[in-house]
Structure 1
Amino acid sequence: MAVKPDWLRVKAPQWERVGSVKEILRDLALNTVCEEASCPNIGECFNAGTATFLIMGPACTRACPYCDIDFEKKPKPLDPTEPERLAEAVRRMKLNHVVITSVNRDDLPDGGASQFVKCIENIRALSPHTTIELLIPDLCGNWGALEIILSSQPEVLNHNTETIPRLYRRVRPQANYERTLELLKRSREIAPGVYTKSGIMVGLGETDEEIRQVMQDLRAVDCDILTIGQYLQPSQKHLQVNDFVRPEQFDAWQAFGEEIGFLQVVSSPLTRSSYHAEQVRELMQRHPR
């Protein structure tokens, strides 16, 4: 088993600020992927007063062996008050940029598309100047559901690639690499004004050449923003880390990504799909749509 190196250490958070954010989340009975997926950046993000909200959960209909979100519980019916409570949290936290993601809800006809739309509508009613990023599942290839989501015009549509094609069966057994690319391609066609984004995790046995090919595949479907981060094993029951990638390699991928045309590449060992997501507001000023 690979030993965690020094560059993966995180600073101890200021628990006073973390507690303030947690108090709001508990008061409004909301879930965050920061907590549910054991994100290593929870202290930094909570201290900055930001969070990635996890809707329609916490139970997921898929059992991806890298993910710490619960899949053993039966999903509950959608809560009609969730969009209102989420919007109230955004207002209380005074967020400039909010990220909304969800568990997979393959049990729902639209994969939860309508709940995403209601969340956006409620946020814009209370916080009209907040930019919104959605991190969505693949919707089982339901492109009608994708159109429903994009009809609400989020500023950013994110769908993570996660890994290289060779590892999909082991890492994402209920997903499909080609379907992920198709979702990003269709998003650009349906809503050309929406920035598209995807993310890759490394350290599961992929090669540099394979990562670069995925990056080129994402650019071929006109993906705008890319995140690359180190996979960390949440528990002993999850996939083991194959290797810890050195920071210099992340720098090399960032340079390559910028060279082939991504508008933004966030690449470092501790990068996650929503890490420093608020920087998209600066990107929108530099590259308006």
Structure 2
Amino acid sequence: MRETIKNSDKGRKPQWLRKKLHFGAQKEMDQLLNNVGIHTICQEAKCPNISECFSKKNATFLILGNICTRRCSYCNVATGKPFEVNKEEIEQVTKSVRLLGLKYVVITSPARDDLKDGGAKQFYEVTQNILKELPNTKVELLIPDFQGSLDSLKLVANSGAIVLGHNMEMVPSLYKIRKAANYKRSLQVLKKLKTLASNNAKTKSAIMAGLGETEREMIKVFKDLREVGCDYLSIGQYLAPSNEFQKVVEYVRPSQFEKYKQIALDLGFEYVHSSPYTRSSYLAHEYVGK
């Protein structure tokens, strides 16, 4: 039996979602990143893990600006007309990685449907610059779908990143929430990344729970991901950034996340992180360090 707690009108979170915060460490990291002029998805998406990760000097860098061309009702990243591509951020990201002494870096971006390549060239150049300047650092990419462009996927697949991620986000029956996205296209993105990577890079995806999906629907997504060769999976609780966003339908118990983890592992995923606070980039180094 699936174990959940229905969300109340007051939106009170259950005990397992009351996380200890580290405000001092977060303030220090915020200042450092602001001085360099770099955004993180941790800040833009109001990630609940931000103070924990910043206290450990872990961050997921957001390239190509902080404005998305899509308007998904679950995501806190601002929507509008993005600025021109900033070539200076190629060096800015590398500088931030060096200052923080990071050995594992995650790079992501908002959707940039205004660009012909969706921003793939910037992903490639940022990754190449990190690997050139800091050869002991490993890079993971978390990309948008690039509207399925094969040329764009070829570019990021051969960037030198050891993990290539693209998030399914939710079950297909809820894709009306995920504006301008297509479930089958996202599966094909992961399939193409797997076949195009020249360095045998691992592929990774993530899905949220608590939006009203059924257990059967979740398991179907797991199976679909395995059919396209996806290696790693993250499963976490959806939490609305504010009352203006898609409402939480239910709070899924930790025991259900454990059940999802075991099902996914039995299906053949190499590594699965599944818990209420799991996000695709949370403890990302653990997937390859297992």
Common fold: TM-score over 0.5: yes
SS at match of 2:261: helix
Aligned to 1:286: none
Aligned to 1:65: 73
Residue of structure 2 aligned with 1:180, choices 182, 186, 202: 186
- How much has 1:14 moved relative to structure 2? 5.2
Q: Does 1:106 align with 2:113?
A: yes
SS at match of 1:244: strand
Q: Does 1:6 align with 2:8?
A: no
Q: Hey, what's the Cα distance between the residues in 2 that align with 1:7 and 1:110?
A: 41
Residue of structure 1 aligned with 2:133, choices 106, 126, 130: 126
Amino acid of the residue matched to residue 33 of structure 1?
Answer: I
Q: Does 1:95 align with 2:95?
A: no
SS at match of 1:147: helix
Q: Hey, what's the Cα distance between the residues in 2 that align with 1:117 and 1:160?
A: 19
Unpaired runs of 5+ residues, structure 1, are 284-289
Instruction: Verify the 8 A CA contact 1:197 1:225 in the aligned structure 2.
Output: yes
- How much has 1:255 moved relative to structure 2? 0.6
Equivalences, count: 280
Q: Does 1:54 align with 2:62?
A: yes
Deviations 1:160-179 (A, max 9, x none): 0001111112x212100000
Aligned to 2:161: 154
Aligned to 1:275: 282
Aligned to 1:260: 267
Amino acid of the residue matched to residue 84 of structure 2?
Answer: P
- How much has 1:118 moved relative to structure 2? 1.1
SS at match of 1:125: helix
SS at match of 2:213: coil
Aligned to 2:218: 211
Residue of structure 2 aligned with 1:200, choices 207, 213, 236: 207
Residue of structure 1 aligned with 2:124, choices 106, 109, 117: 117
Aligned to 1:287: none
Q: Once structures 1 and 2 are overlaid, which stretch shifts more, 187-196 or 56-65?
A: 187-196
The TM-score with structure 2 as length reference comes to 0.94
Runs of 4+ in 1 over 6 A off after TM superposition: none
- How much has 1:199 moved relative to structure 2? 0.1
Residue of structure 1 aligned with 2:197, choices 177, 191, 198: 191
Q: Hey, what's the Cα distance between the residues in 1 that align with 2:96 and 2:132?
A: 13
Deviations 1:78-128 (A, max 9, x none): 011001000000001011100000010000000000100111122112211
Q: Hey, what's the Cα distance between the residues in 1 that align with 2:30 and 2:76?
A: 19
Q: Once structures 1 and 2 are overlaid, which stretch shifts more, 153-162 or 122-131?
A: 122-131
Amino acid of the residue matched to residue 236 of structure 1?
Answer: N
Instruction: Verify the 8 A CA contact 2:64 2:119 in the aligned structure 1.
Output: yes
Matches within 5 A, 1:129-140: 129-140=136-147
Q: Hey, what's the Cα distance between the residues in 2 that align with 1:255 and 1:281?
A: 19
Amino acid of the residue matched to residue 177 of structure 1?
Answer: Y
Deviations 1:126-164 (A, max 9, x none): 211111000000001111111011121210000000011
Aligned to 2:231: 224
Aligned to 2:50: 42
Q: Hey, what's the Cα distance between the residues in 2 that align with 1:20 and 1:243?
A: 34
Deviations 1:27-58 (A, max 9, x none): 11110010100000001100001100111121
